[in-house]
Chains A and B, each alone.
Chain A
Amino acid sequence: MAVRSTAWMRFRLRLEEWKESFLLTLRPWAGKIGWALLVIQLVLALYALAAYYPQGMKHYQAGFDWFYKYPVHVPPCWAVKKKAQAVRLSLQNVKPVVKTKTMNISYGNIRYVFKYYTISYNKSFIYKGDALPSDSAMLLGLTMPGGKKILQAKIHIDLLRPDGTDFVFLDQTIPVSQYGNKSVIEIRIGGATFNKTLIVHGRPVQVPVKMPYPISKYPIVATGPLSLGQIAQTLGKSMEKVFGTNPFKTDRPVPAGQALFAEVTPNGTVVPLKGKYTFRLSLMYLINETGMTPAQAREIESRGSLNFYFIAYPNCYGLAGTDTLARPVGLGLLLGLPYAFLLGFLVTFTSTFIGAIYGSFAGYWKDIRGEIMMRIADIFLSLPFLPILIVISYVYKVTMLSLSGLMILLFWAGPVIVVRSMALQISEQVYVEAAKAVGAKTSRIVFRHVFPQVFPYTLAIAVLSIPGIIVAEASLSLLGLGDPTAPTWGKLLQLAYDEHAVQNGWWWMYIFPGLALVVFSATFLLIGRAVEPLVAPKLQR
């Protein structure tokens, strides 16, 4: 009982000491800011983990469906003065208008019945954005009856604009197959980068018809009888009529996806054309209804339908914009936070712990053992960290955890020299000599007397090395190494570098991840510098 109570007392005393030291670090402004930043970032990191771990994180790195929701590499909204209007349309509540025209032709004593069956949809919207949208996309689902009875099929889609011009997307006959057609066509009409070519990355992806909006990473996808080239050609031609040039062919500043809403003023500037736009879609087929009962005819007619979605993407997104994979940069910043903490804390604390124990022993043993230990530590200290790190993670593919392990392997010797010189002094103190005289075991002396005295100081120093670790990871990422599944800030910077964000002026792609790194690292530098004088009496002035 008595023993426990003294232990408890001692613990209480320690606690008091810690509390006091903590309050002392809050005195200087640097400490205040540092701790505040740490708390904010910890909360954010926990939120990121709770909300996105692990699926969300994987998805951020590997998901292709960002194009479905977000515009591609648009700046943050606060940096954009004139904002575009986002448009989302579908035919869900549009009543189709059906027109039929029956022709009865007699040929000898056989009476033929041919029917032109036209189903058409009109959908209007008002565009009142102050700027052109960053891009447009559409998804077209076509279902058609097939077989010998269908003689001809035609599709027509155009956009009637407020100034009376119209842009024709499609106006073509559809080859009729025996069993009917199911066709999906998905078009990213062209964002700011795709101004030279429409069909940039053409990896076809099978898209289920019920998907409401385009989902693939790639701008253009088509299956079935409708061809994307046809759309590009048709739309290009009708745009050429209005603008005098074909945005699909020429290297014009206004790409086709934006040109849908554009107007060229007499002095040559391109402005958004505000007003009422109408999409007109129609599907027509010629049916040989000879000898059909009305019910049969109706059945065949009703098998044709159109499914249409249209999106005009805004020209800005959120607080930090989106990157070239259409991912929100802000989300990337949030998701990178837990990884930064994981790496920083794991590496520094573990390697400091190891280094402090190692150094304590090296200082305690003043004979050849200590000498050899120092030689070994010296070798580790002489390793050029980054090249070795690069090489190992190049040769052996790393995960976040193995990367941490690797860094620990390279960093553990960091505190050894300081710790040893402290341990040398401590082990000359009377109580250590006394403990030795009593015959206490070496490990006991080291862990009871030496280690507890050196550890706090080394820890404070270690906090100062967190930035180095985070920065090293970012450097690895820039070279395309490191854990490919972890959305770290370094990865965002790598994307920015690989996609030439600097050349293209997409500053939000590299400014924000870099700033996140700076803030995160500065947090620990501020805390470390506030703590340092407290744990190192020598430095106190």
Chain B
Amino acid sequence: MRWLVIKIINFVIVLAAVTLIVAIIFTGPMSTFYKSQALQTVQMEMRAQSHQLTVAQNTIIGIAKGTVSPQDAADLINKLYQQGLLTKEERDKLLSGKVTVDEAQKIATALPKRLRAILTQQEFHAYGLDKPWYERSLKYFWDLLSFKSLNSTVLTTRYWPTQGSHNAIDIVLERVPFSVLLFTTSSTLTVLIAVPLALWAARRPGSWIDNTVVAWSIFSVSMPWWWLAMVFIAFFTVKYHIFPQPWNVNVNFHDIKTLVDAAALPVFTVTILSIGDSAFRLRNIFLDIFNEDFVTVARAKGLPENMVLRKHVMRAAAPPLVTIVLFAIVLSVFSGAIITELVFNWPGLGRLYWEAIYAGDIPVVLELTYITTLLYLILRLTLDILYTLLDPRIKRA
């Protein structure tokens, strides 16, 4: 069990480091974002206090003109002084009543400016904007780790839990099921198809099926997946109406039929693309395993061919298979399979990237990056653990 603990500690370290990197990248934009929020609050405060401000101004001018006695206004003047809106000299002058109208006018006009400055400073302090950048980075780092809720500027939730929520984390989380649905389905299909295909190719290296696997692997890695998605959309939905046109459907989890219809083409596309790479890698693994002595030994023992495959070849291929699934997923995140969601109008994380970027919604981009990374790391950890369980050779390490 020690290896598990070590792996989890490792995971936490990596997670912390990655989060820190994300936090540092976002320090600039987040500060800008908070600044605008702070200024908005200041504006609101100013509006709320405008009446009191007018009263104060009138009182001050009144003292100068002699319509208000300084004794009556003493409370107010002291309060203003405590708020920092008046200097000591000004207070003394006003309290003593020996103030000219000009001076009073000057003080009165300066009041709103001073109030704004004080409020701004307060708000900046509240948002931590007066701290140096690394402290801010650390703060955002901690906010991310503790899932502190953050309000989006433009986007709102559309599906779950309630529509119209501005919580950035909710906005991201409600898209996760869509991405998960798309990619688990296609990964499962990929494994189900790629394994027999690779086996078939590896049994007859150099045959047409083998050549097809090799060639397709080259193509599938060479192209942006969303590009093939565009081609497929043009072919299967515009030219032939086999699948619904992505821009005409609105998927959600209540209408299962539409959901399945809309998912068909994305799943198909992602599957046949990820088969390319996976089948090729698997084929190489199978080729290596077929050349291993233990397979010949198994045959020599008189094991029928299907048992050799099932018991020895497949079992030996299981750990690398996990790596291949991992690779397929890395490739999805890396070569833009998540971007296919954009082209397919599929409301997953990939499309949310586009929406958030076009809307300039920085909090959503931040949470999105963080949560994608988190999911990605969790997935890697899971597969890593699975690999370790499957391969007795590395358990001790």
Contacts and interface: CB of A to CB of B under 8 A. Distances in A.
Is there a direct interface between A and B, measured as CB atoms under 8 Å apart in the complex?
yes
Contact of A480 (B28, B238, B357, B380): B357
B192 interface: no
Interface residues of B, number: 48
A531 B29 CA distance: 45
A66 to B, nearest CB: 23
A101 B179 CA distance: 80
A395 B28 contact: yes
A390 B353 contact: yes
B233 A384 contact: no
B334 A518 contact: no
B10 to A, nearest CB: 8
Contact of A475 (B221, B335, B368, B369): B335
Interface string A497-511: 100011101010011
Contact of B234 (A379, A479, A507, A521): A507
A320 interface: no
- SS class, residues of chain A in contact with chain B: helix
Contacts of B373: 383-384, 387-388
Interface string B223-241: 1101110110110001000
Contacts of A479: 339, 342, 353-354, 357
A241 to B, nearest CB: 36
Contacts, number: 139
Contacts of A480: 357-358
A474 interface: yes
A55 B193 CA distance: 50
A481 interface: yes
Interface string B214-258: 000011011110111011011000100000010100000000000
A375 B16 CA distance: 13
A510 B218 contact: no
B22 interface: yes
Given A394-B357, A526-B218, A382 B380 contact: yes
Interface in A372-421: 375, 378-379, 382-388, 390-392, 394-396
A388 B227 contact: no
Contacts of B226: 475, 478
A387 B369 contact: yes
A467 interface: yes
Contacts of A391: 22, 25-26, 365, 369
A468 interface: yes
B222 A467 contact: yes
A493 interface: yes
Contacts of B333: 384-387
B18 interface: yes
Nearest to A475: B336
B279 interface: no
A395 B29 contact: yes
Given A386-B333, A518-B223, A502 B230 contact: yes
A156 to B, nearest CB: 45
Nearest to A379: B17
B223 A521 contact: yes
B185 interface: no
B267 interface: no
Contacts of B14: 378-379, 382
Given A502-B238, A541-B291, A525 B25 contact: no
B9 to A, nearest CB: 11
B256 to A, nearest CB: 26
A388 B369 contact: yes
Nearest to A504: B238
B265 interface: no
Contacts of A395: 25-26, 28-29
B365 A475 contact: no
Nearest to B27: A395
B13 A375 contact: yes
Contact of A383 (B18, B222, B342): B18
B334 A468 contact: yes
B221 A521 contact: yes
B248 to A, nearest CB: 10
A493 B227 contact: yes
B218 A517 contact: no
A144 interface: no
Contact of B222 (A382, A387, A517, A541): A517
A387 B354 CA distance: 11
A86 interface: no
A300 interface: no
B376 interface: yes
A503 B234 CA distance: 7
Given A386-B336, A387-B353, A478-B226, A510 B231 contact: yes
Contact of B238 (A378, A471, A503, A519): A503
B343 interface: yes
B335 A472 contact: yes
A384 B334 contact: yes
Nearest to B15: A382
B377 A467 contact: no
Contacts of B18: 379, 382-383
A472 B222 CA distance: 11
A382 B18 CA distance: 8
Which of A478, A481, A510 has most chain B Cβ within 10 Å?
A478
Contacts of A474: 224, 227, 336
B338 interface: yes
Interface in B349-366: 353-354, 357-358, 365
Nearest to A410: B334
Given A475-B226, A541-B291, A394 B231 contact: no
Contacts of B22: 388, 391
Interface string A518-539: 1111100110010000000000
Contacts of B357: 390, 394, 479-481
22 contacts: A375-B13, A384-B334, A384-B373, A386-B335, A387-B353, A390-B353, A391-B365, A392-B25, A468-B334, A468-B335, A471-B222, A474-B227, A475-B339, A478-B226, A479-B354, A479-B357, A493-B227, A497-B343, A502-B230, A505-B234, A510-B234, A518-B219
Given A378-B14, A526-B218, 16 more contacts: A382-B380, A384-B373, A387-B368, A388-B25, A468-B334, A472-B335, A472-B336, A474-B336, A478-B342, A480-B357, A493-B230, A496-B230, A497-B343, A505-B234, A525-B218, A529-B218
Interface of A: 375, 378-379, 382-388, 390-392, 394-396, 467-468, 471-472, 474-475, 478-481, 490, 493, 496-497, 501-503, 505, 507, 510-511, 514, 517-522, 525-526, 529, 541
Give 5 closest A-B pairs by Cβ, nearest first. Answer: A475-B336, A521-B222, A514-B227, A379-B17, A384-B376
